[in-house]
Amino acid sequence: MPDGMIKEPSFRESVDLMFNRAVSLMDLEPGLEEKIRVCNATYTVRFGVRLRGKMHTFTGYRSVHSEHMEPVKGGIRYALGVNQDEVEALAALMTYKCALVETPFGGSKGGLCIDPREWEEHELERITRRFAYELAKRDLINPSQNVPAPDMGTGEREMAWIADQYRRMNTTDINAAACVTGKPPHAGGIAGRVEATGRGVQYALREFFRHPEDVAMAGLSGKLDGKRVIVQGLGNVGYHAAHFLETEDGAKITGIIEHDGALFSPAGLDVDAVRAWIVKYGGVTGYPDATHSSDGGTVLEQECDILIPAALEGVIHLGNVANIKAPLIIEAANGPVTAGADEYLRDKGTVIIPDMYANAGGVTVSYFEWVKNLSHIRFGRMQRRQEEARHQLVVDELERLDKYLGDAWSMTPDFKQKYLRGADELELVRSGLDDTMRTAYQSMREVWHGRDDVTDLRVAAYLVAIDRVAASYRAAGL
């Protein structure tokens, strides 16, 4: 967070400032700008759970930023610092993110003030079920109105509890599984959701590096191979991004910053080994094959090619921005750069791939999961229909061969299966995600390069997103 000396806007104000910068370049009809910007409603709940012999009171939030499309969508965060300003900022980012990647949702976000590490699993289950009950009875969890997902401090396990709680409260709702996404595969989830946000970060970087002019704007050249990367937060998003970049693109992860300090190794860290150490010991302290610093901030400021903040908001602020050396920052976390730091970096020429695009992989694959749940059909099978339509001639030919060859098909089972059953779910999810990340990048890029008054990707992303939200308000006649 900022040094005490420097007063910066809150997270929500920071998001609004970025929004206003984009709106000043648009020609929206009077009143529409405000309607889009404001948060529609935030529900605060305080509930008690009897644990360890006494009653504990917990505070939670669910904020609905925009219902221009329903259901609204956004994760549930478990962290001690959760507050109304934060959930409203995150809900607003969800509205713009969904519009940018064209998932048909409004924006929402929730949070519970809790340190999950302080509680046993069975205690967390009781707390989560009670929180889910409080939200579901007000339709703040509902397959057609409000669909949560994982965020910091939550994952598949919590989503399975939430889905089960909703199902118990709505036993006749045939679409109950679609009330939340990010569920484990055996509880209605979809392959590839856990990795989705980090995978999306990788796809976003691959798309960026497909455009040498864009790469040159960051003062870089070449491909991802050999690029020095520093990652802050080796949780769900940071780990998957770092793991895929290291193992599939040849990037060198030179720094990893965690809650208890940071590791640095110019030769490159073994991401899986660091992750295993964190899982075992709760942090990076003591990890043997790197230089350890108890002050994570020093590694954030190290030389590198790509900086990936993947933990908290507001980590690059007016107090440290002058020391940030990375020429390219990809915002895997939501809001890691404050509005003031953003302006400083823009003036310096640092290229920032903004959060609303960079971490949209999660909501994209959540959309696939929601569609899968509502369709009540195995995802691969549904996709097969499209495949078949596209390859109708091939399918006709296969059927003809089927009749002709009969049992002889057993000689080529893989070939036949591939065509007649469709690709497997993970393959489909990954290709759908890749396609989404490419298309969204193109839409931002057209604005970035196509308008003289647009000099950065963040404002380009806001322009595309706000334009789409405005169009849906106009269409609805509001």
When the beta carbons of 298 and 455 are compared against ligand NAD, the nearer one is 298
Rg of the chain's alpha carbons, rounded to an integer?
23
When the beta carbons of 311 and 464 are compared against ligand NAD, the nearer one is 311
Q: How many angstroms separate the CA atoms of 470 and 386, rounded?
A: 31
When the beta carbons of 11 and 470 are compared against ligand NAD, the nearer one is 11
The least CB distance from residue 170 to ligand NAD, in Å, is 25
The alpha carbon of 24 is separated from its chain's Cα centroid by a whole number of angstroms, namely 27
Catalytic residue among 54, 73, 97, 109: 109
When the beta carbons of 335 and 340 are compared against ligand NAD, the nearer one is 335
The least CB distance from residue 112 to ligand NAD, in Å, is 13
Known catalytic membership, residue 109: yes
The least CB distance from residue 101 to ligand NAD, in Å, is 11
Question: Do 14 and 339 form a contact (C-beta atoms < 8 A)?
Answer: yes
Main-chain phi, psi angles of 316, to 5 degrees: -110, 110
Cα dist from 199 to 95, 121, 249, 289, 353, whole Å: 21, 28, 12, 26, 15
The least CB distance from residue 78 to ligand NAD, in Å, is 8
Question: Do 409 and 402 form a contact (C-beta atoms < 8 A)?
Answer: yes
The binding site for ligand NAD (CB under 6 A) comprises 150-153, 197, 232-238, 257-259, 296, 310-312, 332-334, 359, 362
The least CB distance from residue 177 to ligand NAD, in Å, is 19
Q: How many angstroms separate the CA atoms of 202 and 245, rounded?
A: 6
Q: Which residue's C-beta sits nearest to ligand NAD?
A: 235
CA dihedral 473, 179, 332, 295 (to 10 degrees): 130
When the beta carbons of 107 and 235 are compared against ligand NAD, the nearer one is 235
The least CB distance from residue 88 to ligand NAD, in Å, is 14
When the beta carbons of 243 and 384 are compared against ligand NAD, the nearer one is 243
Catalytic (active-site) positions: 109
